[in-house]
């Protein structure tokens, strides 16, 4: 099971699935969830209609109430035999896993290998450019206790042709050194930053000595295919 970083509707689809699995009738599931979590039916309606996503403790409470793993409900990358995956479009394409990138510190960067030297080609149903590639996350700066979290060991699909706008997860590389990092790109007040998802790490301002290599469009565990 994969987590599609570009799909805001994915959570709502999994929520509906979990409600079906638990046997909640479609006309009453909003009220049932609202009572269980002590929130308003309107708030639940926004979750079901892909208008918003529960945060922090409410996500955990929702997962417990629906008897599904929080990671699957929140991110979609944990496989559970009792929960069927959301439908995926037909047609898979494979892209090279060319190297690993550090998510904790500036570390030795990747250089694209010749395709004849690549022996791992994970697949995806995402429509990405032909120059896209996978990297394996290292370190814990993108691991968070709440909200979006991409821990060490996950694979990330990087598309170098997607525009890096504020809020996107990116791979950035120093122009004067062979080093790279995985962070969220943020623009604020005319300044540019690389922001970790882990609050224990500091946000780092970047200048002309850093360029964005590509935008992360998908993350998954390799053994979940």
Average pLDDT value for the chain: 78
203 vs 4 pLDDT, higher one? 203
- Here the tokens at position 76 are 């979609």
CA distance 190 to 187: 7
Tell me the whole-structure pTM to 2 decimals: 0.57
Mean pLDDT of 200-220: 88
Which residues lie below 8 Å from residue 43, measured CB to CB, with a gap of 6+? 34, 52
Report residue 2: phi and psi, to 5°: -115, 160
* Whether the predicted pLDDT of 216 surpasses 60: yes
Distance (Å, whole) CA 101 – CA 114: 18
CA dist 180 → 14, 100, 163, 195, 216 (Å): 34, 10, 18, 14, 14
For residue 34, pLDDT over 80 is answered with yes
**134 pLDDT higher than 50:** yes
- pLDDT at residue 6 tops 50: no
109-135 residues labelled b (16+ CB within 10 A) or e (exposed): bbeeeeeeebeeebebebebeeebbbb
Nearest to 64 by CA among 103, 33, 90, 99: 33
pLDDT band with cut points at 50, 70 and 90 for residue 144:
confident
Distance CA 18, CA 83 (A): 7
3-state secondary structure at position 110: coil
Long-range contacts of 112-120 (CB under 8 A, 24+ apart): 120/96
* Domain ranges for the chain: 8-75, 93-221
* Better pLDDT: 213 or 174: 213
Report pLDDT for 104.
Answer: 37
Q: With contact defined as beta carbons under 8 Å apart, do 123 and 88 qualify? A: no
pLDDT at residue 153 in the model: 85
Domain 8-75 is found in CATH 1.10.260.40: yes
**Class assignment of domain 93-221?**
mainly beta
CA-to-CA distance for 126 and 120, rounded, in angstroms? Answer: 18
Taking a C-beta distance cutoff of 8 angstroms, is the pair 137, 153 a contact? Answer: yes
Element (H, E) at 135: strand 133-138
Q: Which residue has the higher pLDDT, 119 or 19?
A: 19
Q: How far, CA to CA in Å, does 73 sit from each of 8, 85, 95?
A: 13, 11, 27
Beta strands in 139-178 (DSSP E): 155-159, 169-174
């Amino acid at each position: 099971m994969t987590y599609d970083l570009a799909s805001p509707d994915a959570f709502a689809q999994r929520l509906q699935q979990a409600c079906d699995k638990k046997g909640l009738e479609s006309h009453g599931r909003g009220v049932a969830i609202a009572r269980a979590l002590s929130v308003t039916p309107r708030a639940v309606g926004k979750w079901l209609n892909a208008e918003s996503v529960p945060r922090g403790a409410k996500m955990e409470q929702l997962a417990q109430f629906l008897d599904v793993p929080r990671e699957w409900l929140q991110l979609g990358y944990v496989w559970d035999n009792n929960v069927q995956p959301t439908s995926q479009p037909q047609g898979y394409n494979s892209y090279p896993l060319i190297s690993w990138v550090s998510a904790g510190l500036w570390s030795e960067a990747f250089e694209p290998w010749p395709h004849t030297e690549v022996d791992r080609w994970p697949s995806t149903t995402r429509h990405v450019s032909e120059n896209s590639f996978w990297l394996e996350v290292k370190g814990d700066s993108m691991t968070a206790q709440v909200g979006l979290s991409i821990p060490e060991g996950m694979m990330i699909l990087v598309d170098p042709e997607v525009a890096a706008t504020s809020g996107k997860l990116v791979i950035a590389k120093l122009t004067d050194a062979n080093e790279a990092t995985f962070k969220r790109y943020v623009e604020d007040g005319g300044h540019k930053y690389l922001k970790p998802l882990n609050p224990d790490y500091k946000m780092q301002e970047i200048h002309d000595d850093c360029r964005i290599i590509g935008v992360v469009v998908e993350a998954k565990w390799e053994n979940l295919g």
